[in-house]
Amino acid sequence: MIDSIALDPQSSRRGTLLEFAVEENQSEFVKLLLENNADPDVFTPSKGYRPIHEAAEKGHVECLRLLLSARADVNARSSANGRTALHELLSGWEDTSSYKSAFKELVNHPKIDINIEDDDESTPLEIAACKKLELQVNQLIALGAVITENVREALQDYRPDLLRPDLGFQHFNNNTHVTETELRSELFKAIRNNNPEQCEAILNQASSINITIDLNKTDTDGPTYLQFACEAGFSNVVEFLLNHGARPDVTSITKDKKPIFLACIAGNNKIIQLLLENRASTTDRCPDTEQTVLHEITQRLSRDPNKYFACLQMILAYQNDDFNINAQDHTGNTALNFAVMSGCQEAVLLLLRHGADISIVNVAGVSPLRRIHPKILKAYLDECITSNRKSPTASDFVLSFDYSFLSAPLHSNTYETEAEFEAVVFPEVPKLSRRSEIEILREIASSKRLQPLLRHPIIRSFVSYKWHKISWAFWLNCVLFLIMIVMLTSYVVLLKDVDGKNKNMTSIATDDNKPEMNIYLRVLLNSSIAIFAIGLFCRELFQMSIDFERYLHSFENYVEILLIVSTMMMLATREDIHVAVNFAAIAIILAWLELLLLVGRYPELSTYIAAFVTVSKTFLIMLFGYSLLIVGFALSFYVLNVFDDENDEELTATQGITRSIMKCYVMMTGELDYGDLNFEEKPFVSKGVFLFFVFLVTIILLNLLNALAVSDTQIIKNK
């Protein structure tokens, strides 16, 4: 998983993962790294660059846009030459749409300083002037770039008209010949300077000469005025724009994130409040990531918990009926996923209190429950238990248990994931929905970190309530299965009786020495067992249809399948008793084993049966590992004829080896039967091998298995 590795490892050849992705213009990987908290300003000493310099120099506009959205420092200077991203862009300029778009992204950034000098005392305007980039020079001058002597000399030859002094707003005041374009340019400068008073004066001037400035239009194909002010964090300007008709949900062509998204990214609680008071929507999503404002806030909690937690509180305080706190982005993550990953306990608890679903899984199959800290979950579970605040000894004392976290409301969210993202990270993985409350409890039980919470009153009471509701189904299942076992056992005993007389079922049916009742009994048992086996088969098909993958992971299901197969084969071969008894022997063992597992679901017996199953698994795993040693000793004993006697001359090699292996497994339990062993042919070697077997297998291995059994039993009891 991408969140389980270091995202900024230094490479001797390339630098960091992020820089490599930017250099190769792999915008999807850049997005993935940034979403998983890669540092957008990571510095590579070997180059003296940051990723933003690489993106600007090569005109990788999408990577540049992603870095700026991740709060990369737009004014960061390289250690090699002191240049900013704007310097690098203009130095490597190519007359392509990508470079032009990258230029707009940089100059429209609210925090850019366009007058920074590099180590050669050159400004971006000087570089643009020397390259004769007239459009870019004009825009930089309009944005307030300082015209130095070097710039003046460069422009004097081919564009002296650009050297006229900037007269500022005073030049337009009471000037009836001023144009709307000039007023809009001055308004943008005033907003950029965070000067609402000058903005007011410009609008008044426009009104006095019958010019209407639409505050919802973009300026030079950049962001709207409100978008710019929200991203810059100018709360006074935002308030001014909203009061003068700026709509909070309008976006520009080049910047599709709405103002409230930009305010959430910046973590500006005051601006968020202003937008919400002016009916900004909190239900919209980003077109490219399907993220809501909650996603934007929660995935930045680790950067400044206090600032972004205040924003989260503000958003949740203004939620309406259409607000979906469990909305999933294109990776399937909810806001709770990001909050849990940030480790901010207050944010996680706040989301849970407002109905966030802890069970929704993302495209990787990971839910917030898998990552949540046990202390945070315990704190929330404690809040799910309330009282009427009366004394516990009072007759009307009431405790209330809230189980809503186990059955959070499910909103429609079944759209497919983005094809590009699937191809890069999780190929052909569909978006997954929330799980049932039993699956939530199962995940808690399977997590070593969360297992102690199974003792919490809210979970124990829920499990008790569930058991009270469905116990009738358990007992019905037990009774029906017990009836089947009684009939199967009777049938098997009858088969044994027939086999002992060396007869088949047909001959028994016509045997004059048998009462007629036995014929009817055999037919009844045969039909009843077949009906029960078919019913059991239908039940297994139903379970497969519900969740086939989970069905395959259950040992009990394999026992039931083998039971059905062996039972049907027993009935099918009833005419040949010698074959039928083999299947009967297997069926009867599996039937009683299944009954044991079934009874183990009863709460009072579950601990003991769980210990039995766990110890059995441990023994089988250990025996499988040490079986090589057992086979080695068995072959050694076979070669030395330790198990041979006068009656074994007719045994083949295969039969002899098989017998040696079986005897070694029996001897491992302590049944050495020393007096029956043959040490006469090769006394020295055979006795040495036998003593070595006793030491390694009977003493060490057997005691090791016993110790593991005790350990497993103790662990289960502690749970």
The whole-angstrom separation of Cα 348 and Cα 356 is 9
| 680 DSSP 8-state letter | S
The pLDDT tens digits for 555-594 are 888 999 999 999 999 888 877 878 888 898 899 999 999 9
Q: Averaging pLDDT over each range in 352-356, 522-526, 596-600, which range is the top one?
A: 352-356
Segment among 110-124, 401-415, 463-477, 657-671 with least mean pLDDT: 401-415
Q: Give the tokens for residue 434.
A: 């929330």
- Does residue 503 register a pLDDT over 80? no
pLDDT band of residue 413 (cuts 50, 70, 90) is very low
pLDDT of residue 176: 60
d(CA 85, CA 73): 9
Upper half-sphere CA count for residue 29 (Cβ side, 13 Å): 12
Euclidean distance between CA atoms 65 and 288, whole angstroms: 13
Helix axes 555-572 and 577-599, enclosed angle (nearest 10): 150
H or E element in which residue 385 lies: strand 385-387
Mean pLDDT value of segment 455-467: 89
pLDDT at position 676, please?
65
Q: How many Å apart are CA 365 and CA 353, to the nearest integer?
A: 24
Full 3-state SS string of 67-130: HHHCCCCCCCCCCCCCCCHHHHHHHCCCCCHHHHHHHHHHHCCCCCCCCCCCCCCCCHHHHHHH
Q: State the pLDDT at residue 517.
A: 44
pLDDT for residue 645:
58
* Cα 475 from Cα 536, distance rounded (Å): 16
Report phi then psi at 296, rounded to 5.
-60, -35
Predicted pLDDT at 6: 44
For the chain, give the mean pLDDT: 81
CA distance 26 to 123: 30
> Mean pLDDT highest for which of 150-154, 166-170, 359-363?
359-363
For residue 550, the model assigns a pLDDT of 82
Per-residue pLDDT tens over the stretch 194-240: 889 988 888 888 888 888 888 887 655 678 899 989 988 899 999 99
Q: Which of 264-268, 272-276, 385-389, 624-628 has the lowest mean pLDDT?
A: 624-628
pLDDT at 442 over 80: yes
Four-residue CA torsion sign, 635, 640, 646, 649: positive
Residue 156 has pLDDT above 80, yes or no: no
End-to-end CA distance of the chain: 30
Whole-model pTM over 0.75: no
Distance CA 580, CA 566 (A): 9
Work out the pLDDT band at 423, boundaries 50, 70, 90.
very low
Q: What is the mean pLDDT of residues 639-663?
A: 71
The answer to whether residues 89 and 57 touch, using CB atoms and an 8 Å cutoff, is: yes
Give me the mean pLDDT over the 456-466 stretch.
90
Going by the DSSP 8-state scheme, the letter that residue 326 receives in this structure is T
Would you place residue 649 in the very low, low, confident or very high pLDDT band (cuts 50, 70, 90)? low
Across the strands, what pairs with 386?
Answer: 400
According to CATH, the topology of domain 2-163 is: 1.25.40
Domain residue ranges in the chain: 2-163, 470-599, 608-718
